[in-house]
Every structure is written in structure tokens, then in C-alpha cells.
Amino acid sequence: MGVLMEVKNLVTRFYTQEGTIYAVNDVSYTLNEGETLGVVGESGSGKSVHALSIMGLIPMPPGKVTNGEVWFQGRDLLKLNKEEMRLVRGAEIAMIFQDPMTSLNPVLTVGTQITEALKLHLGMNNTQADNRATELIDMVGIPDARKRLHNYPHQFSGGMRQRIMIAMALSCNPKLLIADEPTTALDVTIQAQIIELVKQLQKELKMAMIWITHDLGVVAGMADTIQVMYGGRTVERGPIKPVFRDPRNAYTLGLLNSLPRLDAAQKRQRLTQIEGSPPDMRVEPVGDSFAPRNPYRTERCWTETPPLRQAEGGVEGHMVAAWYDLREIRKQQQLEGKR
Amino acid sequence: MMSAPAPLMHDKKEVSKEVILSVSGLKKHFPISSGIVFQRQVGAVRAVDDVSFDVYRGETLGLVGESGCGKSTTGRTILQLYRPTAGSVQFEGKELTTMKGEELRAMRREMQIIFQDPFASLNPRMTVGNIVSEPLRIHNILRGKELREYVENLLEKVGLNPFYINRYPHEFSGGQRQRIGIARALALNPKFIVCDEPISALDVSIQAQVVNLLEDLQQELGLTYLFIAHDLSMVRHICDRVAVMYLGKIVELAATDELYDNPLHPYTQALLSAVPVPDPSVEEDRQRILITGDLPSPANPPKGCNFNTRCPVRMDACFREPDPALTEVSPGHWVACHRVP
């Protein structure tokens, strides 16, 4: 598999009246063709802002991508002008958002909204565009496709609207789909429907995907690679199974431990909670942002930012940013447990 | 600490068989009216449609279902925040639906609610101290220095620094605000608390903190919870018994492990299979029961069984016969389905 996109040292800031918000702090990674990358983090972790930065959708001002390169098909997206970027968005990289209620225009029929991209990017005429739009709506599992083209967004339910957003995103056969919490506003049964649909369409269309979510369960079920973000940085990243089985960053471990399991019988144990609260993004990060909440922190965590590097003894591509060695700590604990 | 083995809370929680709250035949229909000058009622949204259950003293009863199924309305109707269309709600043997005025106000000291959205449920112009002490002032229980001390103690109990008593809600994070909401609910020493999605709006790393706090408080104060939620993994952790609602009706009710290990209603089965598990090895082999379509409108529920538009195992009887009644199929396990004998 070839490399589809390479993100290098991405830094995004917002200059607001209350001061600078350090939203994304030096994020780098590569995405392969056809790969599904799950980006996990809490609100304020920079997961959404990093995606918007790639898409050139950061409102400027107050925001600004202050550093970095995004190489996609031999071009640095951050260097493109508005017009060039407009031709990439929608055609080569498409995006779907969390709230299907607000991302559709309420005064235009869904047909008008889907055919807009087809006419702009693929130069279709009205009839061609209508036919393709019908195919697309049919593809995402909405019955009576041709009639539904003439309906307005309010005539669809939340799940249906998200299907329309997906149809719209896929209309030009993009090479990359970025999905920003696309199922968070939906009920679990509808979420399951949407995930199945996207997985199946991804296989058919052979596109890569970045799936942004706070739900580790969703990532576990669909991603090839997981990237955990905290305080605007990638703190751990790697193939999905090794990261879940053998997490090396204290935040990843803490998250996994704090989740109750649907498939575990009641043991009536307290949940193992992560103390404290997420970092204030208005403060310039010094050292490891998780240090104040981390029981395994070292002196170095307070002052120096750990680089993302290969986890020792881990599978290839399992990267972690930590000054402590969780594997060693766990060994010690097991030893103490035996004594 | 994150990695140290969690202390065992209690092997088996003591739940008495004493009924503290009894709900029977509860209905809440919201009228749909039409007309400009003369408003006529043209229909009704059947948000809660004939719901019956008991809550035992000291237990946590979970109420789960998708948005629009009527779970929050049920909680609010129990507390008489909405007046029911029909049915009865008895709290410690006293009928609430016919109570009004001073009598009802006095009853409210026993029953409180914690809301979902910690941003919308706190008055931004009141200090934390005023928010938490308001119930005490309304009921004229404490005043002056005593009141202040009591509030400081409460804040400490929910894990907030009493030093913050003069701050305003916007100075706090989501998790801290939810703690303020909990302190307010506890102020009058209630016996019963409706927790209406108390963690849904919180960050993942904060949810466990709030759930642990709720469990600690229950242990310490002997509280009874009605826990309304849609996160089925968290419900499994916190609840003793769980009721599943669909379109205004309870379709299944059982002890927690029994419901999760042996779900009998096709809706419960589909709901449980749709919940993602944070473990790639488990997810790999999981078979999902996908139900198609969306929730029908509660203003116009389907004829026959409510679930017949989406049910994967529907049969003729589900359209012909009236809605199946909730029946006890094994001790404590109630199901409403024609398929289940």
C-alpha cells in the first residue's frame, strides 16, 4: 500500500480575546491508501481541529495553522490557494460532520445539495447529476431515491440525514474521507447501521478514512490504526490490537481502565477513574500535558515534552510519547503483587 | 490511582425488598393542537404510554432506551414535574398524582433530580453557594452561618473545594458543574433521586469520576436512584435492575446480569448488540443484529405491537393482536413480546 497523505509537524493556534489557544501542537503521521485511522480524544484534545487544519477549514482569524506540511498526492495542501483547495475538498478529500441537522442547508432540497458537488467537480449537466444523485441516495440505503431528491432536510430523520451527508461526501469518489464524530448525535442502533454502511462503502470504493471519535468502542470495531490525542498532541499511535492489548501511554491505559464493559458481568468494583480534569488549552503546554493527572509521572514529564517514538519491545509502528516505561512499571507491579 | 486494583465495593449490595416507589399505569400524553384562534386538539404524543414498575429501597433502577422513547418524561412525570395523563405514582405509600400545593412541595424534599446538561441546569447569575443553598432557603430549614457551614460540607462531600462557594458556574468545568448539580440535589437529604442522563454530556475521562461519586453517595446515604441513560455499558456497571423502554412502553425489565446475558425481547437484543465494545478482538467476531429503519413517531404509533415496524422476528400476530402485555417469564424477568411465551 502506498502512502496517501503525510502530515508533518502540524501546529494550529487560535488567537482570541482571552489569549492564545494552543489547539494542535506538533502532530505528524502518515496515512496509507485504504487505511482506516481512528483518532481518539476528549473535547479539546485537538482531534477535530487537526482535521479542519488539513482541510483548510480553520476560520482565519482567529485561527491560524502556524506550522506544518500536509502532503497529499505530491502537493502540500497548506500551500494551495483558496481556489486550488476548493478543488481538492469534496473531490479528493471529503468530510462528514457530527451534526447532520446543521450541516445541511434547510432551504435547499437534498437533491440540489448533492448535485452541486457533481456539477462543480465533475462537470456534469443537470440530467447526469440527477441520475448520479439518485444512485448515491440509493447506495446509502434510502428507499425511493428519485422521489426523495425533491425533499428538504427536515423531512428526514437524523440517521437518514447522516446517510445523505455520506452520499454527498462520496459523490466524487474521494480518496480520503474524514469523519468527525459522525455518529455521536445518533442512537446506538442507528450508529450501528451507519458504521456498517460506511465500512461496506469503504471496501467498495477503496478509500482511506480518518474516523474521529471519543468512543473507544467504535474505533475498536472499525479502525486499522488508532491514534490517541491529548492536549493537542499524539500521545500514542499504532495498529489497533497491540495498542488496546498493551497500551504504553498512561492516558490510553487510564481511558481503557475507566470504561465499564458491556460484556463483563457485574463485579461491583469501583471504576478506576482518572483524577483531575483535561488541560486548559489557553496555557502554553510545557512538558507532558498529562503529567498533572498521571500517577506514573517522572520529574522529566513536568519540563520536557516527550517525543513520539517507537515503543520499546512493541510491534513495529506502535509509537508512544512518554518519559516513563509503562511496561516496566507493570512488571514491577506484578512482582510486588506476587510478594 | 489508575493501575492499583480497584477496591471491591461490596460483594452484594444490600437491596431491601421494600418498595419505595410504585408506578402503575402511568401515562403522559402531550396534546398536539391545531388552529389559530380556536385551538383544537388534533392528536397526542404518547410520550409515556401505560408504564408500571416498582423501585426498591436502596437500589438503582436503570431506565434505558433510544432518544424519544419516553425515559426522561417518565422520570419527570414521577416527580410530578409533568402531571400525568393517567395512572398512579406512590412514594412510600403516598399517592403523588393527586397531591398539590403545600403538600406536594413538602414531598419534594424526599425526591430530587440531577439533570443531563450541567451547562443549562445551573443559573449562570447565581453563585455556587446560592445554587446549592436555594432548596434549603425555600424550605426554610437553615439560615445564616449554619447554612453556610452546611453548604461547605456538601461541597466537600461531592469533591469540590468549599473555597469555591462564591464562584459562578462558568468558572467550572463540565465535571465540576455536574458535582454542583449533585450537591444541590443532595441538599435536602432526599431518599430518592432521578438521575436523568447525568454523565452523557461529560468527557470520557470524567464520567468514571462522577459515577464513582454517585455510587459512594448511595452507599453512604442509603439513596435510591432511578438512573436514566443510553450508555448501556455504564448502566450495566451501576444498576441493580434495568428496564428497557421503546416508544413509551417498557418492553423488558430484569435484574442487570440477567438482562444483559439473557435478553428476551428482540429490541433489547438488537440494542445490546449495537453497543460497541472497546476491544478489537471482541469486535472482530461480533455478530450484530441490525434493526432497520427509524423510531416511529410517538404521535402515531404502529397498530399492534409497537416494535412491529423494525422487528427482525415479527410474525402475523404482531400486527393482528393488540400490544403485548408485560408478563413475568421467570422470577423478576418481565417481557412484553408475542414471541416469548
Model confidence pLDDT, tens digit, residues A176-234: 999 998 888 788 888 888 898 889 889 888 899 999 998 999 999 899 999 999 999 99
Residue in chain B lying closest to A326 (CA) = B3
A110-122 helix and A126-139 helix, angle to the nearest 10 degrees: 120
Residues 6+ apart with CB under 8 A from A55: A89, A93, A95, A178
- The C-alpha cell that represents B313 in the structure block: 422476528
Banded model confidence at residue A103, pLDDT cuts 50, 70, 90 = confident
Percent of chain B beyond pLDDT 70?
95
Q: What is the pLDDT of residues B148-183, one digit of tens each?
A: 999 998 998 888 888 889 999 988 888 888 999 999
Residue in chain B lying closest to A143 (CA) = B293
Nearest to B50 by CA among B256, B227, B306, B267: B306
pLDDT at A268: 65
Q: Which residue has the cell 491505559?
A: A253
Q: How many CB pairs under 8 A join A and B?
A: 167
Instruction: Tell me the ipTM for this assembly.
Output: 0.83
- In chain B, residues with a C-beta closer than 8 Å to the C-beta of A240 are 280
A261–B208 C-beta distance less than 8 A: no
Banded model confidence at residue B41, pLDDT cuts 50, 70, 90 = confident
- In chain A, residues with a C-beta closer than 8 Å to the C-beta of B233 are 217, 259-262
B203–A187 C-beta distance less than 8 A: no
B232–A188 C-beta distance less than 8 A: yes
Banded model confidence at residue A267, pLDDT cuts 50, 70, 90 = low
Percent of chain A beyond pLDDT 90?
45
- In chain A, residues with a C-beta closer than 8 Å to the C-beta of B260 are 262, 265
Phi-psi map region of A217: left, alpha, beta (phi>0 left; psi -120 to 50 alpha): alpha
A245-264 average pLDDT score: 89
Banded model confidence at residue B81, pLDDT cuts 50, 70, 90 = very high
Q: What is the pLDDT of residues B289-308, one digit of tens each?
A: 888 877 888 888 888 899 99
Question: Is the pLDDT reported for residue B15 higher than 70?
Answer: no
Banded model confidence at residue B4, pLDDT cuts 50, 70, 90 = very low
Banded model confidence at residue B8, pLDDT cuts 50, 70, 90 = very low
Backbone angles phi, psi at A208, to 5 degrees: -90, 160
Nearest 10 degrees: CA dihedral of B138, B142, B148, B152? Answer: -90
